[in-house]
Amino acid sequence: MTTLTTLFVLAVTFHSTGMNGDCCEEPIVIENSSTPYQTTDLTSSGYDLYSECDLMGIMHNDVWFEYVAPSGGQVTVTTCDPDSFDTSIIIYESPLGGCAALNYLACSGDAPVRPECQQYQSTTDFPVDSGHTYMIRVGGWQEDSFGSGTLTVSLDDHTKPVYCPADINRDRLIDGADLTAMLGDWGSIDSPADLTGDNLVDGADLAQLLGEWGLCPLQGSWQVLVNAPVAPYLHHDSIAVIGETLWICNVSGQIFKSIDAGDTWVQVADQPGTSFRTISFIDDQRGVVGNLGPGSWVGHTTDTAPLYITNDGGLTWVKVPESAITGDVPDGVCGIQWVDENTIHGAGRYAGKAYFITSTDGGSTWISRDLTDDYYAFVDVWFEDPLHGYITGTNNQGRASLVETHDGGLTWTTRKTNQSGHYWKMGFANESFGYGVCSGGADIDKWVQTHDGGDTWTEKSFTDDFHANGIGFLNEQVGWIGGYPSHTLQTSNGGQTWEPIQIDLVYGDVINKFLKVDESTMYAVGNRVYRYAEDHSGFRRAENDVTFRNERCKIRAVTRGSTTTISYTVPDDGHVMVNVFIRGSLLQDRPVDAFQKAGEHRIVLHTPADAPELFASIQTGDYRRWTRFERQPEEN
């Protein structure tokens, strides 16, 4: 337990009304179930209110629960209740039992909106060990946030499918046992057999169960590759996989390699003036990586070379000289794909200028085509073969554009456009089913799909209050969208509905790239590297992921008028970077990049009235935190 956490515990003032749950020492003992509570007459505990979770409240009239984990796994707690109030949650581990020593684990302010819940419900996940005790604290957003509510606790021991609602008995098969369970709860208003979420088990639920009859589409689960490098600046950007060999790159000029499916990693490149954005390999020796170049959103970039090539598995990288490029040299490359033995296609960049660059001799020479007459920016590329492929980006009218070529990039046709800022990442799960996702703008909640190999594309919505970056599908039913906030959206019904999941409980997900490698395995890269698979036998869980307390490092940004105060906690003496950025990790400023002593620090910045929505992050050692700027009234 950290010194800071100890101070929090000692600062508690235990006031009790004599009601069960009113204080930590008199908790409501709960199991994996739904428990009603009433906070109207409860007192506030007096714990320090600081939390890194978005839109945390003051924990008014908080109520305490005690939970003993019956087995190891991941617990989900939620205050979802349509008749309840604006809640916040904080989770503590109780290693000694009771309240003598509490270790902070997780929190939730406002979780993503769900139609079956109150407007401002709270939901969070946290890892548990069998037999360990955990304290769950639920409080109100502000002084008028109190009343009745329901706390629902569920345990996933990682042997169950993450999301397959009609599988009521959680055996990965929708069959007669599930039908029997549903009929036994017929007419119930509180049952896992309520598949439609209308608080009644009836014919609509039966129809859904029969429609999903058979094997659950979601047979695997996500795991953190715990030894993967932690993102130096919010998130990594791209990943390549050949067998058990993996490479990742990031905009801080780093490339890492693993030869054991992500168990151990070696840094093979470190170029601080370069912003590596995209990486692709054709075999275990030959690869290519794209650089954003100066003038993008990464202000520290000085390297003007758009491309680097390796012929020794990424141990050394050679700059592609300008003399090898016919046509205007791209300002930067955001997407790259080594398509076949000789063909490489790339495009960029997000920050402006639309170039398509291609090589037909394995990267020795390149042809660059300037498409800025029709398009403003390019983000991602996906090619079926050397001639047929797509680019995502933005046109000159500021509309997201999905463009297609059938002649290797000589000519392009816009296949889909809408009012979002960009189409960001895209891909195909098989020959017929393809997908792409929007980023920013009025249509921020949209994604597109094709079921006929790209002949027609249709648009669908995923969810509000989520800024997407990455998208990936294992098959036509199972897929994921990554971005901000730091959880991930998951579907098991082809995108008809999306549910939030949390993969990385230490740093958050923030996934920008998904990559399918076979019919049962996906990789993703975000704050760390993640693998989806049916079998995780032999998977190593680092002890550091259990003992490391990322919450020792804190950051908060409060804007009043045109002034923003960023206060942050440095847990240990060391080099500290504080970044200011907008969604998509577009760097605006780096006000701190220096050695600092452990302790509390504060900086003051000028924030123009017309500034976009801003975020602040801190990086020091293995600690990574970020927060949204909070706008508050000016003090008198």
- The string of pLDDT tens digits covering residues 308-346 is 999 999 999 999 999 999 999 999 999 999 999 999 999
* Closest listed residue to residue 310, CA positions, set 357, 362, 359, 275: 362
Residue type, 467: H
Mean pLDDT of the residues in the chain: 87
Tell me if 577 sits within 8 A of 593, measured CB to CB: yes
All residues at 6 or more sequence positions from 496 whose CB lies less than 8 Å from its CB, including other chains = none
CA distance 220 to 562: 49
Tell me if 185 sits within 8 A of 243, measured CB to CB: no
Residue 73, beta-bridge partner list = 128
Question: Residue 485 has what pLDDT?
Answer: 76
Tell me if 324 sits within 8 A of 317, measured CB to CB: no
- CA distances to 524, 548, 581 from 544, rounded to whole Å, are 21, 5, 29
Residue 198 in 3-state DSSP? coil
CATH among 3.40.980.10, 2.30.110.10, 2.130.10.10, 3.30.950.10 for 238-418 = 2.130.10.10
The count of C-alpha atoms lying within 13 angstroms of the C-alpha of 283, restricted to the half-sphere facing its C-beta, is: 8
CA distance 348 to 18: 64
pLDDT tens track for 7-32: 233 233 333 334 589 999 899 999 98
Is the dihedral angle over the CA atoms 163, 164, 167, 168 positive or is it negative?
A: positive
Q: Is 244 left (phi over 0), alpha (psi -120 to 50) or beta?
A: alpha
pLDDT tens track for 368-402: 999 999 999 999 999 999 999 999 999 999 999 99
Class of domain 3-156: mainly beta
- CA distances to 204, 384, 474 from 494, rounded to whole Å, are 19, 22, 10
* Closest listed residue to residue 69, CA positions, set 11, 148, 154: 154
pLDDT confidence tier of residue 215, bands split at 50, 70 and 90: confident
Reply yes or no on whether the pLDDT at 236 is more than 80: no
CA distance 565 to 631: 11
Is the dihedral angle over the CA atoms 244, 333, 624, 512 positive or is it negative?
A: negative
pLDDT tens track for 563-614: 999 999 999 999 999 989 876 566 778 899 999 999 999 999 998 888 888 8
Maximal C-alpha separation, the chain: 80
Strand 60-68 relative to strand 28-30, pairing? parallel
Q: Which two tokens stand for residue 58?
A: 């003051």
Of 108-117, 381-390, 519-528, the range with the highest mean pLDDT is: 381-390
Tell me which of 631 and 326 has the higher pLDDT: 326
Asked, colleague to colleague, whether 3-156 and 238-418 share their fold, the answer is no
Q: Is the pTM of this model over 0.75?
A: no
- Mean pLDDT is lowest, of 238-252, 444-458, 541-555, for 541-555
For 549-631, CATH gives 2.60.40.1930
* Closest listed residue to residue 118, CA positions, set 150, 94, 142, 159: 150
Question: Residue 586 has what pLDDT?
Answer: 66
Reply yes or no on whether the pLDDT at 293 is more than 70: yes
Question: Residue 58 has what pLDDT?
Answer: 82
**Where are the domains positioned within the chain?**
3-156, 173-215, 238-418, 549-631
- CA distances to 267, 585, 586, 619, 623 from 270, rounded to whole Å, are 8, 20, 21, 17, 20
Percent of the chain surpassing pLDDT 90: 57
Question: Residue 16 has what pLDDT?
Answer: 38
Reply yes or no on whether the pLDDT at 289 is more than 70: yes
